Structure 1
Amino acid sequence: MRIFQMRCLVGVGLISYSLYLWHWPVLAYLRYVYGSYVLAASWLLVAVPFMFFVAYLSYRFVELRCKRLNLSFTAAFLWLFLAPALGLAGLGAGLKAVKPTLSFDPSLLSYGTDVCHGSFDKRCLRGAPGLPPRVLVTGDSHAAALNSFIDEVGRQEGWQAYVVTGSSCSPVFDFNESVLPESSREPCKNLKAYVKTDYRQYEAVVFTSFWSYQLGKEPERADPDYLPKLERTLRSIAETTPVYVLSDVPELSVSPIRLELFDRLGLSVERVSGRKAESANARIKQIVDRLPNVHWIDLGPAASQLSAQGRYAGRMAYFDNNHLNVYGSTSLGQLFVREGHRLLPP
């Protein structure tokens, strides 16, 4: 067909092998920087012309010249394979030696090691010291990440809370812990049993979780009947005890440690933030709004100040793309109070 004889298509055919070799490293690097497999259109408008440009250069100055060489197998192996491979290895070692090193305060790398997460034998009490715990705070690891938030807000509002959580375990009644990793199943069973039998001894229950995960929006398995079980649990607890359901914090588009590295390299990149947390919050709020004695607490206005590049006041506020660290959780509590919000009524 004449269309395949067009000069532009013939040119693409000539550089097709170089294009095949170059497209992967270019896309892999841009996806690493952008933080998503699907690149924004503006990034693709740069990536595609650049791939064709470097493919033409390698075709013109490497592929054509190599075709004209009259080398023995040994010479070709030494000069066209071994020498470039050693050069690339040396370049990689050199770049590794000069790359910026990242050292962090331990409070930036976790939500705390002294928390009752999967156990009941660590520091479970948070808030105003010296008072009996009258609030139960529970949920999965996103609730655990709010230990410092609860500590800050409880001190300001004058109450103490008992905070117990479980990995991936949102302790609704009849939650199917068989969907969890095996190491999380027994702690989840114990947490569910405690919440179900002991919530009546508290004046209020604060409940939160990684809502998008519990709703099955993450790659990990989730209880397919989570929403009706959550509604039944909230309704049952609220018959005797007021329940305060917290919104989840926004997720980051990229690991905060990667963002920290980019910041130190002076690489500022605008990215489209994910909307999974926002969508999941909306679905949970719909349930909360129709239940008597169950109250929705929106952390969004305060939390949004931490999710911009995952930093607050120049420091990392998250330790991965969806968990606040100790510093971020404390800062969230301070912002929440400073903006005039209350978690529990006076």
Structure 2
Amino acid sequence: FSWNIALRETDPVQAFFSPVTRIWELLAGSILGYVSASMPKPALQLTAPANSKHSPYPLNWMRHLLSLSGFGLLFAGVLLIDQGRSFPGWWALIPAVGSWALIASGPTAWFNHRILSLPWLVFVGHISYPLYLWHWPLLSFLKITETDTAPVWMRAAAVMVALLLAWATYRWLETPIRRRPVDRVTTTLLVLGIALSGLSGFAIYRLGGLDSRASVQPLLEEAEEMKYRSHWVGWQKCSESDVVSCRLLNPGQPPEVAIVGDSHAGHLASGIAHQLRGRQTPVLARVRAGCFPMYDRIAPGMEDFACRHALMNGILDEVIAMPSVHTVVLSGYGVLRINGDRGVPPAGAPDGIFHNSQTDEFIRARAERFDHALDYTLNKLQASGKRVVFVIDVPELNFNPRQCTQMRPLSLHAGKQRTVCEVNRTDADERSHYYRQAVENARFKHPQVRFVDSWEAFCNDRTCSAQQDGRLLYSSRDHLSPAGSRFLMDRVGHEIFP
């Protein structure tokens, strides 16, 4: 559990998928099962025997309370845990403890006996494990085949198919195997089946897919190019233990240039490598997802404004202390830091619009803090004697850029492919108004800082484009693709690397 807490901040993907960080959840249930199977029955009873002189009701209420508390925790988890939470982390305690309490309360608890014993819920319980196995590949397949999130009706249909397949698996596979006497034939067949399945998957992986996959190879290469990690081709980790926060270009000499920021600094990496081809300028990239490149905790109300646990403070101090670094390049998702959301419309709302979920008062207050923090940061960097470059963030899109091209060999839903892959300049200006206003304030206060406006590469007076000569310049609504990163640096790179 402690490793899950620690790793959640540095590598959230590993924290979510690694068995090491999730085993405590399995152990909680295993311990409960072991205790139930090994302890004498009277030791497990929360109620007094019928012939006991003591009233059974207080202990019965303990069982009922445990059951209801468990359900309450599970329901709270459904309501509270979303994409904005650091899951698993501490939040994983809610469903884990809730499940444990619900099971530990036993079959005689009121909620378990009256509610969970309803026939249709018992049926769901019987098929729960095959349902767990079936629903994920079906929903994942929809995610793979559809350019964007599949329509609600299609996802609902996938869940219904998963229910049907789960019932069939339970009825004709799981139940017969459970009822079959345990013998060498059954065990051998099961082991061979599992081994054959695993070896087949491994062989397909090692061979790069079946022969028929060659026809979609260009699409696979295009999809691979759109992944964020493709920006780091040619860069090296600062150390083997580093996950994503530190990279080096042209290592061997102390870095002369430092790129600092969040993933919007990271998506400049492929363009920087392209810009510096043929040159041996050593570059350090200190990138932390969700961490805007400025100091926080510098005044009341500024706690963790730029980055959780003030991680960016340490990164900036480290870069300032490097005597070899003469240029510091800052870039980050400033609109998110000020507006408090990504502008994505809620499910069911029409695409092609920016959706601001926060009030103007909220945004103005954050813009003031942003202005203060950026001013403080630029002052401190300039005081160190380093050349400072601030890359004004790219314009956001109000649509998924992957709708602009056919990137899937198969699509189950005849969704609309965009014929115009651009956003209205007026809409983009309105969305980023407070961010660009704060940047203009900083430009006025710090004339020695070089402000590089990425909008000049993507926008004209009417629109901002996400595609150029058939190439997608964006990989998401706010991240550049490697092609877009190179496109940007071809136009503004000389301002960063004169």
Q: TM-score range by the shorter chain?
A: 0.5 to 0.7
Q: How many residues align?
A: 238
State the alpha-carbon separation in 2 of the partners of residues 328 and 142 from structure 1: 12
State the alpha-carbon separation in 1 of the partners of residues 305 and 378 from structure 2: 21
Residue 105 of structure 1, CA deviation: 2.7
Q: Which has the higher contact order (CA 8 A, sep 6+)?
A: 1
The 1:343/1:179 distance shift into structure 2, 3 A limit, reads closer
The 1:109/1:313 distance shift into structure 2, 3 A limit, reads farther
The corresponding residue for 1:228 is: 372
The 1:151/1:259 distance shift into structure 2, 3 A limit, reads same
Amino acid of the structure 2 residue aligned with 1:141: S
Which residues of structure 2 form unaligned runs of 5+?
1-152, 159-215, 342-356, 408-413
Are the equivalent residues in 2 in contact too, given 1:129–1:155 (CA < 8 A)? no
Amino acid of the structure 2 residue aligned with 1:110: Y
1:253 aligns with 2:398: yes
Tell me the TM-score normalized by structure 1. 0.57
Q: 1:205-244, aligned counterparts within 5 Å?
A: 205-216=328-339, 218=341, 219=357, 224=366, 225-239=369-383, 240-244=385-389
The alignment partner of 2:230 has SS state of: coil
1:268 aligns with 2:419: yes
Amino acid of the structure 2 residue aligned with 1:231: D
Amino acid of the structure 2 residue aligned with 1:335: R
What percentage of aligned pairs have identical amino acids? 21
Residue 177 of structure 1, CA deviation: 6.1
The corresponding residue for 1:322 is: 478
Which of 164, 167, 174 aligns to 2:289? It is 167
Residue 285 of structure 1, CA deviation: 2.8
Amino acid of the structure 1 residue aligned with 2:329: V
The corresponding residue for 2:228 is: 110
Residue 139 of structure 1, CA deviation: 1.1
Amino acid of the structure 2 residue aligned with 1:238: Q
Residue 232 of structure 1, CA deviation: 0.8
Are the equivalent residues in 2 in contact too, given 1:154–1:160 (CA < 8 A)? no
The 1:287/1:230 distance shift into structure 2, 3 A limit, reads same
Q: 1:119-198, aligned counterparts within 5 Å?
A: 120=242, 124-126=247-249, 131-155=253-277, 159-175=281-297, 176=302, 178=304, 185=308, 189-198=310-319
Residue 131 of structure 1, CA deviation: 4.9
The alignment partner of 1:174 has SS state of: coil
Amino acid of the structure 2 residue aligned with 1:112: S
Residue 246 of structure 1, CA deviation: 0.8
Are the equivalent residues in 2 in contact too, given 1:149–1:329 (CA < 8 A)? yes
The 1:322/1:238 distance shift into structure 2, 3 A limit, reads same
| CA offset digits 1:210-254 (Å, max 9, x no partner) | 121222353589993222011011111101212111111111121
| CA offset digits 1:152-184 (Å, max 9, x no partner) | 23347763320111112113222556468xxx7
Which of 320, 337, 360 aligns to 1:199? It is 320
Which of 282, 294, 305 aligns to 2:449? It is 294
State the alpha-carbon separation in 1 of the partners of residues 418 and 336 from structure 2: 31
Residue 343 of structure 1, CA deviation: 1.2
Residue 299 of structure 1, CA deviation: 2.2
The 1:155/1:282 distance shift into structure 2, 3 A limit, reads farther
Are the equivalent residues in 2 in contact too, given 1:215–1:227 (CA < 8 A)? no
State the alpha-carbon separation in 1 of the partners of residues 490 and 371 from structure 2: 31
Q: Indicate the RMSD between aligned Cα atoms, in angstroms.
A: 3.8
The 1:216/1:278 distance shift into structure 2, 3 A limit, reads closer
The corresponding residue for 1:36 is: none
The alignment partner of 2:424 has SS state of: coil
Amino acid of the structure 1 residue aligned with 2:264: H
Residue 108 of structure 1, CA deviation: 1.3
| CA offset digits 1:173-220 (Å, max 9, x no partner) | 22556468xxx735xx34421211332421111111112122235358
Amino acid of the structure 1 residue aligned with 2:263: S
State the alpha-carbon separation in 2 of the partners of residues 236 and 200 from structure 1: 12
Are the equivalent residues in 1 in contact too, given 2:404–2:417 (CA < 8 A)? no
Are the equivalent residues in 2 in contact too, given 1:138–1:207 (CA < 8 A)? yes
Are the equivalent residues in 2 in contact too, given 1:143–1:165 (CA < 8 A)? yes
Residue 293 of structure 1, CA deviation: 3.2
- Larger deviation, residues 325-334 vs 307-316: 307-316
Amino acid of the structure 1 residue aligned with 2:320: Y
